[in-house]
């Protein structure tokens, strides 16, 4: 796709959520400046809904205040006739959801060290949002309320980031969620949120506990085919033992995860920071804290092909969108040639001129008859050149040529096909132009070898008339030391 949104050029759609779609966009500036961004727009059916617009503005107002390396930053908010949009930093990578699902489908394993690092980064970003205060130092009491693998981005730089505060709840938010309305993904909700009770930052702790349990176990925790069953598992069923599903997980790490999944908020970790500290302490004892390089290598191993295809698509779009850029310039890939043979593909001698292509038209394919015409023309030119050489040697020796020897100058040679069955197509004017250009090239080649170049300017005989005798010239007396040897001329007839 190629569209504009104010000063941004939209490249492609990256993802679609409940509120809007996210697009990859480019911002161009002076001196060849270019930068990629992610732009989130409301769905068309929501762009005129005041409630959703207020929620959309809430996301920008709250998330724009968060400045942390583990949170996707909001650059600006804009509006057009189509509605509001958010401009976010473009993170090259993918979601935790895609990372673990692709690993499962391809038979690859995301190391536990990488899983712990992703969880620690995500908890750091959540804590930064939880403790955010306004200009007067008053806590904003931000709660994400939609923490899930879909809203955690893992970059190729090895850093994980929280994104999409689209349904964040704060004390001073402009829009209030309707009573009893569930917002978010049910399989990743805290029990108090599913019961539509008052929630605080501990709800995000429970949701992050679900994400960590699933990443370590390699399967879903509460998700079922029906929402009613999912809700029942979330509210009442005991949490399955993590070590029974994944024996490689140490028991003390399982204990940390189970505390985060306590249904009573008062018995849960009080903050994301407390959850992070407990996880880091348990993981460090087993050397299970991975670094950024390990995460980056894992992303490349699991998602390398997908990311390479995305980079190539972006590169191709950049080339296509550059003004005045044609497919034959620079790094643009050349079109795949068709199976039909074109004029430029047939007998292109190194010394001959190339045939120009007609603007706005593709080269017309040449049939087998067209190829035969070229061969016949070349053979005729060679025969004329040979006859001229024989005639010149005969005059140089004072001997008249016999009747069977060709004595016509090169320009008077008829370039018609040798056989009546070989006829160039008359339905394509482009093919005729190429045939004419080929005839001119062959005439030039035939005239070049002969020392008697002046003979090529004599008028051509009228059709059906007798061939005129060549003009009589008194040839200079050639000495044996300067006369060309016939064998030398036959070795290279283009001399």
Task: Give 88-146 as a DSSP string.
Answer: EEPPSEEEHHHHHHHHHHTT----HHHHHHHHHHHHHHHHHHHT-B-TTS-B---B---
Query: Looking at 70-74, 217-221, 325-329, 358-362, which range is the least confident one?
Result: 358-362
Burial class of residue 482, CB neighbours in 10 A (0-12, 13-18, 19+): exposed
pLDDT at 468: 53
Tell me what the pLDDT averaged over the chain comes to.
72
Confidence of residue 330 (pLDDT cuts 50, 70, 90): very low
Confidence of residue 167 (pLDDT cuts 50, 70, 90): low
Please determine, for residue 441, whether its predicted confidence score (pLDDT) is greater than 60.
no
Per the annotation, the verdict on 146 as an active-site residue is yes
Confidence of residue 486 (pLDDT cuts 50, 70, 90): very low
Confidence of residue 118 (pLDDT cuts 50, 70, 90): very high
Which entry of 94, 112, 121, 146 is annotated as an active-site residue?
146
pLDDT at 68: 94
Q: Any idea what the Cα angle at residue 45 is, between residues 43 and 47, rounded to 5°?
A: 65
Q: Which residue has the higher pLDDT, 24 or 433?
A: 24
Region at 210 (left for phi over 0; alpha for psi -120 to 50; beta for the rest): alpha
**pLDDT tens track for 18-63:** 677 889 898 988 887 889 999 988 787 777 778 777 777 876 787 7
Q: Is the pTM of this model over 0.75?
A: no
Please determine, for residue 177, whether its predicted confidence score (pLDDT) is greater than 90.
no
pLDDT-above-90 percentage for the chain: 40
293-312 mean pLDDT:
94
d(CA 22, CA 74): 13
Q: Which residue has the tokens 């370039």?
A: 415
Residue 126 near residue 162, CB atoms below 8 Å: yes
415-427 mean pLDDT:
39
Please determine, for residue 234, whether its predicted confidence score (pLDDT) is greater than 80.
yes
pLDDT at 188: 95
Of 147, 164, 154, the closest CA to residue 260 belongs to: 147
137-149 mean pLDDT:
91
Instruction: Count CA atoms closer than 13 A to 296's CA, side-chain side.
Output: 8
d(CA 105, CA 103): 6
Confidence of residue 79 (pLDDT cuts 50, 70, 90): confident
C-alpha dihedral sign at 176, 182, 188, 189: positive
**pLDDT tens track for 188-207:** 999 999 998 989 999 999 99
């Amino acid at each position: 796709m190629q569209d504009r949104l104010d000063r941004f050029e939209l490249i492609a759609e990256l993802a679609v959520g409940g509120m809007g779609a996210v697009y990859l966009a480019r911002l161009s500036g002076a001196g060849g400046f270019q930068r990629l961004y992610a732009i989130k727009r409301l769905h068309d059916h929501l762009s005129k809904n005041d409630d959703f617009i207020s929620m959309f503005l809430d996301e920008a107002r709250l998330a724009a205040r968060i400045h942390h390396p583990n949170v996707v930053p909001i650059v600006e908010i804009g509006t057009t006739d189509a509605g509001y949009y958010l401009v976010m930093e473009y993170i090259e990578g993918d979601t935790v959801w895609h990372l673990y699902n692709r690993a499962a489908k391809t038979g690859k394993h995301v190391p536990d060290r990488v899983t712990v690092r992703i969880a620690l980064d995500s908890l750091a970003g959540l804590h930064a949002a939880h403790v955010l205060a306004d200009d007067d130092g008053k806590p904003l009491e931000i709660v994400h309320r939609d923490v899930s693998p879909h809203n955690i981005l893992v970059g190729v730089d090895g850093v994980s980031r929280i994104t999409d505060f689209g349904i964040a709840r704060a004390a001073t938010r402009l829009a209030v969620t309707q009573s009893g309305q569930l917002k978010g993904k049910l399989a990743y909700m805290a029990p108090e949120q599913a019961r539509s009770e008052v929630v605080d930052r501990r709800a995000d702790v429970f949701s992050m506990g679900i994400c960590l349990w699933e990443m370590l176990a390699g399967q879903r925790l509460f998700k079922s085919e029906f929402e009613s069953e999912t809700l029942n598992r979330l509210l009442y069923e005991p949490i399955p033992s993590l070590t029974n599903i994944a024996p490689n997980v140490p028991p003390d790490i399982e204990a940390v995860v189970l505390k985060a999944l306590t249904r009573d908020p008062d018995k849960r970790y009080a903050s994301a920071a407390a959850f992070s500290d407990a996880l880091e302490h348990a993981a460090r004892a087993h050397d299970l804290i991975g670094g950024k390089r390990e995460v980056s290598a894992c992303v490349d191993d699991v998602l390398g092909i997908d990311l390479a295809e995305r980079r190539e698509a972006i590169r191709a779009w950049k080339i296509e969108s550059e003004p005045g850029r044609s497919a034959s310039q620079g790094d643009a890939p050349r079109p795949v040639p068709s199976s039909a043979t074109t004029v430029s593909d047939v007998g292109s001698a190194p010394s001959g001129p190339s045939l120009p292509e007609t603007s706005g038209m593709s080269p017309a394919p040449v049939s087998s008859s067209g190829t035969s015409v070229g061969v016949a023309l070349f053979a005729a030119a060679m025969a004329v050149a040979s006859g001229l050489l024989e005639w010149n040697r005969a005059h140089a020796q004072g001997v008249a040529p016999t009747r069977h020897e060709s004595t016509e100058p090169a320009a008077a040679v008829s370039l018609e096909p040798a056989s009546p069955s070989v006829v160039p197509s008359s339905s394509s004017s482009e093919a005729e132009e190429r045939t004419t250009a080929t005839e001119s090239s062959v005439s030039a080649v035939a005239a070049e070898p002969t020392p008697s170049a002046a003979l090529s300017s004599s008028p051509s005989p009228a059709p059906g008339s007798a061939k005129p005798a060549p003009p009589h010239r008194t040839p200079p007396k050639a000495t044996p030391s300067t006369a060309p040897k016939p064998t030398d001329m036959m070795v290279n007839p283009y001399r």
